[in-house]
Structure 1
Amino acid sequence: MRSPLSQDTADLTSRARVRDAAILRFASDGFDVGLRAIANDAGVSAAMIVKLFGSKGGLREACDEHVFAVVRESKTEVLGGQGAPGAFIGQLARMEAYRPMIAYTLRSIQAGGEHAREFIEHMVADALAYVAAGVEAGSIVPSRDEEARVRFLLGATLGTLLIELSMNPDPKAIETGEFWDRALSRLTLPALEIYTEGFLMDRTLLETYLLYIPDPPERAAGTVA
Structure 2
Amino acid sequence: MTRVLVVDDQAMVREGFAALLGAQPDLEVVGTAENGRIAVDTVAALAAEGRGPDVVLMDVRMPELDGIEATRILLAREDPPRVVVLTTFDLDDHIYDALRAGASAFLLKHAPAAELLHAVRVVAAGDALLDPGVTRRLIGHFVHAQPGPPKSLDGVTARETEVLVLVARGLSNAEIAAELVLAEQTVKTHVSRIFTKLGLRDRAQAVVLAYETGLVQPATGG
Higher relative contact order, chain-length normalized (CA < 8 Å, sep 6+): 1
TM-score of the two chains, using structure 1 as the length reference: 0.30
- Greater fraction of residues in helix: 1
- Greater fraction of residues in strand: 2
> Between Structure 1 and Structure 2, whose CA radius of gyration is higher?
1
TM-score of the two chains, using structure 2 as the length reference: 0.30
